[in-house]
Each structure stands twice: as structure tokens, then as C-alpha cells.
């Protein structure tokens, strides 16, 4: 039963209770109403309690779940299932607020993605994005977070991970992408930039350092991992 049908049913139940209430008021106009008050009032209270429970099951809880589902959709990329830029930045900020000592970030950019779109079409490009996200996800740990920041650019947030650990994770992801050609586009590679949070820099500065490392990997020939140095 969808939410609209549940609301209609709840309205019908409310009408029944309202009718019962009007009936009670009519009955109370009688002279002997006080003789039968306790059982009648108890019956009406029971009806209202049952209605309240029905409203919770039919409307309130589904409405809350619907709202939560909409929020999840708003924070996720519909094509790849990865967290979108807004959701990723929210989670990154939360991690920083908790002052986790070891946080690392991996920026990922698919190599020559425009060439893939030009040669195979945008539908194939979408398929590559989905497959890249799936392969990255298979290399992740439970606590890691995959985001799609836009276009062919992804990011990994790695909690409890120092620079060496992030380098190892990025290398596993790089190999997972290039190890097996994709049916829709052949071998697909990506470049990676890794930066560990220094414990005090802003999210923008941290992302910028990871981006600089990514650009360095591109400059050096792509399909490789580059590390960011400490903030200066």
C-alpha cells in the first residue's frame, strides 16, 4: 500500500471516530447518560487509542521512512549509487568535527573519459561510470565512503587511515580498474591523488591538496597514484 492509500485509509478511520464521537454527544443529551458513562467513555477512549495506533502504522511511520528515503536520494548519485558531492562534503565535515586523528582522502579521475564518450557514446560512458564505482566499492572497507564529486571524478574518504595506508588502498583500487578490460570500453584506467588530513586544515584546503596530487599523477602520465606532501 502506497503512502497516498495509507493516508486515505487513515482519513476514513478518522471519519469513523468522528461519527462515533457525534453519536456519543447525542447520547449524552439523554437524561440517563450518567448511568452508562464509564463503559461508553472507555469504549470511546479505546477507539481513539486504536485510531492513534493505526495512524502511526499507516501514516506517521511510512511518512518518516519516505522522508528518510528522499534524503538518501538527495545525497546519492542515481547513476553510480555513490554519495554525491553534497553528501560527501557533509560526511567529510562530520569526520573532521569528530577530530579523528587519522583521516585520508583519495581523489580519483578516470583517464581519457571524454575519449570514451566520443568513441563509444554517452550510454557507454555511463556504463563505465557505473562499473568504475562498482570496482572501487569492492576494494573498500566497511567504514570507507565513496563519493562521485562530478563528471568522471570520484573520491574516497578513508577513516583511521594514515598516508601509507591510503596509498595502499589507492593502489589496490588502481589495479582493480585496469586489471580486467570492460566489455563496453576496453581497459579503463584512472589517476589518484592521496592526502592525509593534518588535523586542522579546512575541508577545502584538504581537497585542494588531494587535487594537486591528482594533477601530478595526470602530469606524470596517468594510471598512477601520487601523494600530497604536508601543508605549507
Do the Cβ atoms of 166 and 106 come closer than 8 Å? Answer: yes
Task: Write down the mean pLDDT value for the chain.
Answer: 82
Chain centroid to Cα 4, Å, comes to 25
Mean pLDDT value across residues 14-40 = 55
- Point out the least confidently predicted range of 17-31, 80-94, 137-151, 195-209: 17-31
CA-based radius of gyration for the chain = 28
Pick the catalytic residue: 152, 153, 201, 216? 152
Beta bridge partners of 106: 156, 194
Distance between CA atoms of 74 and 93, rounded to whole angstroms? 17
Q: What is the pLDDT of residues 49-83, one digit of tens each?
A: 666 676 666 655 555 554 544 455 568 899 999 99
Confidence of residue 229 (pLDDT cuts 50, 70, 90): confident
User: Residue 158: which H helix or E strand, with range?
Assistant: strand 153-159
Catalytic (active site) residue 152: yes
User: Residue 154: which H helix or E strand, with range?
Assistant: strand 153-159
Amino acid at each position: 500500500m502506497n503512502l497516498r492509500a495509507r493516508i486515505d485509509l487513515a482519513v476514513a478511520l478518522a471519519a469513523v471516530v468522528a461519527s462515533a464521537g457525534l453519536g456519543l454527544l447525542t447520547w449524552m443529551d439523554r437524561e440517563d447518560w450518567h448511568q452508562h458513562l464509564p463503559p461508553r467513555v472507555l469504549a470511546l477512549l479505546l477507539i481513539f487509542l486504536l485510531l492513534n495506533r493505526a495512524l502511526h502504522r499507516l501514516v506517521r511511520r511510512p511518512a518518516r521512512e519516505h522522508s528518510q528515503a528522499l534524503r538518501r536520494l538527495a545525497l546519492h548519485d542515481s547513476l553510480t549509487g555513490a554519495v554525491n558531492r553534497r553528501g560527501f562534503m557533509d560526511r567529510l565535515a562530520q569526520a573532521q568535527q569528530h577530530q579523528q586523528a587519522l583521516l585520508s582522502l583519495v581523489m580519483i579521475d578516470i583517464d581519457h573519459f571524454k575519449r570514451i564518450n566520443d568513441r563509444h557514446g554517452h550510454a557507454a560512458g555511463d556504463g563505465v561510470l557505473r562499473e568504475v564505482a562498482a570496482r572501487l566499492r569492492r576494494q573498500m572497507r566497511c567504514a570507507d565512503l565513496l563519493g562521485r564529486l562530478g563528471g568522471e571524478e570520484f573520491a574516497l574518504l578513508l577513516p583511521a587511515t594514515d598516508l601509507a595506508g591510503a596509498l595502499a588502498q589507492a593502489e589496490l583500487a588502481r589495479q582493480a580498474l585496469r586489471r580486467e578490460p570492460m566489455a563496453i570500453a576496453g581497459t579503463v584506467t584512472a589517476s589518484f591523488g592521496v592526502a592525509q588530513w593534518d588535523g586542522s586544515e579546512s575541508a577545502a584546503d584538504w581537497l585542494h591538496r588531494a587535487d594537486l596530487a591528482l594533477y601530478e599523477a595526470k602530469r606524470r602520465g596517468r594510471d598512477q597514484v601520487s601523494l600530497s606532501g604536508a601543508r605549507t
